[in-house]
Structure 1
Amino acid sequence: MPRSKRTRRKGLLDDDSERSPLSGVANIFDVAMVFSVALIVMLVMSYHLPQLLDPDADITIVTNPGQPDMQIIIKEGQTIEVLNMTDRIAGGQGEVLGTAYKLADGKVIYVPENGAENGNESS
């Protein structure tokens, strides 16, 4: 039995000239997102700070040290905290735990009060 050829009726939008001009926008958006993520990774690597991408890493960054607009950026795990320096001086009541000395080579040595080995001595 020979098969008869049936002509298939094309839909209204099957013609290439009648397709939506916005059909390719989704692909352009995907390419832009991949490019932006790659750019962010490249910037982090160029600053030699891959720890920023590690979810378990702890890092502290000081920007503009000694300047009035100094910032301290603290990353502990996945939380990031930014501390801005101000002219205000903190005050309050407390107890003396010991003394810190800065040596000529830049090291800081902490000497606990009352000869205790660590600052969290219970009384």
Structure 2
Amino acid sequence: MGQRNKLLHSDGDSDPMGVVANLFDVAMVFAVALMVALVTRFNMTELFSKEDFSLVKNPGKENMEIITKKGETIQRYTPSENQESEGKKGRKVGIAYELENGEIIYVPE
């Protein structure tokens, strides 16, 4: 009878760091699940594909940003009035319109 009682109440139950390790594991699983849910919710799965792409965030607004992926490198470009500090110069050359059928028309200035 003493042997059976000893198996039910082992010394591992009194380890306070075991609880912390379990909480850490639960937090890591939750963080990974949250990242996967956000990527699929905002349709950002192309960031993990092997294809090259360009993405324009907030087109035509002050905080517009162009994100391009070529191979393994992802570059972010934010157009601003003072481009000379970065060694990049550019100017607006036209406007692009997307029609209802998905066709894009470019109109030069």
Same structural fold, with TM-score higher than 0.5 when normalized by the shorter chain: yes
Unaligned stretches of 5+ residues in structure 2:
84-88
Contact 1:44–1:52 (Cα < 8 Å) also in 2: no
2:55 corresponds to which residue? 61
Structure 1: 5+ residue runs without aligned partners?
Answer: 1-6, 92-99, 110-123
What residue is the counterpart of 2:77 in the other structure? Answer: 83
Give the residue type in structure 2 aligned to 1:31.
V
1:1-123 matches, cutoff 5 A: 15=11, 19-54=14-49, 56-88=50-82, 90=89, 106-108=104-106
Indicate the RMSD between aligned Cα atoms, in angstroms.
3.2
> 3-state SS of the aligned residue for 1:24?
helix
When the two structures are superposed, what TM-score results if normalisation uses the length of structure 1?
0.55
Change (3 A) 1:71 1:102: closer
TM-score (norm 2): 0.60
Change (3 A) 1:69 1:38: same
Deviation at 1:48, TM superposition (A): 2.0
Call closer, same or farther: CA 1:103–1:86 in 2, change over 3 Å: closer
Secondary structure in structure 2 of the residue aligned to 1:75:
strand
More helix by share: 2
